[in-house]
Amino acid sequence: MLTGKIISAVSKSAFFKTPVVNNYLRIAFNIENVRHIYSKTTLGIDTFLQQCEITRKQMENVGDKFKQKMSEIDVKEGKQMVFTEDLKNMIHLTSDEKDLELVIRMIKKFNKQNKELRFGSFIFGPVVMRLFHHQNKPDLALECFKSDELSGFFDQMITYQILLDLLFENKQYQQLLDCVEFIKEKQLEGMRYPRNVVVLALAACYKMNSKESLDYALKLWQELKDVGHFPMRRATTFCAALAYNQGNPGIALEILTSAKNQNYTTVRNLKAACLAAVGRVENAISLMKSILSDDTPGNHKHTFNRDVLDKIKEAVAGLENPELSLEFNRIEQLLMKQGHISDMGIDVQLCAEIQPPAMITEKRQNKFQPRFRKTDYKQRSFTQKKYPYQQRPGLDELV
């Protein structure tokens, strides 16, 4: 069992004899209200809404007639077809429950005819799921996702991500995990563990914060390791924070070793809290001191969360060691004086919105901007010829 494998790497005597660990309710971080894991931009919902506005303006005078015409399509009648452009327009014109019902009838008809005729190349899965997300219809999205009539319609990585994010926002964590199992069996594009799906699965486990959710998370973590999958940092910190909250800081420490950047704020804070919880208070204090030496002009200021420092302070007090208490207080005062303490809770940091890279955001925004004028094109061509290498983004811009 994974729990057994991980805990063996930590000193069991130090782990179980530490007073702070024996009552995990005392070490658990406060889990705030649900936040969005992925931003609307990351999910493409802002671009979807822009297209909705464009379609409404284009069909301002014929929108009602168009909807009436679409409503006459009989799902069971084989002679009538749902055309790609009509379905696009209907999705982007949807404004109420009646429109949603019509869209669902149309996509079922479209999916059936598309399987039989293999026409067109436009992928509707992500667009329809963005509609469900915007309308906040998690149950309807789930029903359509599982529908036999829509088999294959939603089989895209980004569609999975949008659906799971919608379920997460509505606190439907168990339904989210059920979908994850379904997605694993699909193995779309040969991938059983899509990275963003793993993030959302472990985020759901973290929010559930139960022994059962920890068991699921550790089982998933072991599966990832068995196939050589390296989870994203956010997935790592969710899994580690869950283990910590469930009174298993030793397991959390082992999970955190998978993080590539050990000095990232959430990784560093969780590591310090876990070290204190397993009786390694001196190591936790050393980690606190380490960010003082990294404080050089021009660099981003490293911080410790106030709630993390409170956990370390509690562990220090439990040891009844005057010298250690004095050292902790000295370092804490230095951190405070130099602005290294953040009042933001660790949970807020863990659940901060994931934004897309700047290049992708700019590309999506430019999609709805006027095309280059001829003079702009000439100027850009001249610049590219004169300074060809300056036009290519560096690795730091792609992070």
Q: Is residue 360 part of a domain?
A: no
Q: Is residue 372 part of a domain?
A: yes
Task: Return the amino acid letter for 311.
Answer: K
Q: Is residue 378 part of a domain?
A: yes
Q: Is residue 394 part of a domain?
A: yes
Q: What Cα–Cα distance (Å) separates residue 16 from each residue in 20, 24, 228, 257, 352?
A: 9, 11, 31, 21, 33
The rounded distance, in Å, linking the Cα atoms of 293 and 239 is 29
The rounded distance, in Å, linking the Cα atoms of 118 and 104 is 20
Q: Interior CA angle at 287 toward 284 and 291, to 5°?
A: 150
Provide the pLDDT for residue 378.
46
The residues near 19 (Cβ < 8 Å, ≥ 6 apart) are: 318
Residue reference for tokens 């005392």: 26
The reported pTM is 0.81
| 3-class secondary structure, 66 | helix
Number of Cβ within 10 Å of residue 72's Cβ equals 8
Nearest to 203, CA basis, from 234, 162, 179: 234
Count of domains observed in the chain:
1
Residue 371: domain span: 366-398
Provide the pLDDT for residue 371.
45
Which residues, given as ranges, of the chain have pLDDT below 70?
1-27, 32-35, 74-79, 116-120, 294-299, 358-399
Provide the pLDDT for residue 4.
46
Task: Return the amino acid letter for 280.
Answer: R
Q: Is residue 390 part of a domain?
A: yes
Q: Is residue 392 part of a domain?
A: yes
Give bridge partners of residue 305 from the DSSP assignment. 342
Q: Is residue 130 part of a domain?
A: no
The sign one gets for the Cα dihedral 266, 271, 274, 276 is: negative
Provide the pLDDT for residue 366.
52
Q: Is residue 342 part of a domain?
A: no
Provide the pLDDT for residue 186.
86
CB burial readout 15-51, b (16+ within 10 A) else e: beebebbeeeeebebebeeeeebbbbbbbbbbbbeeb
Provide the pLDDT for residue 96.
93
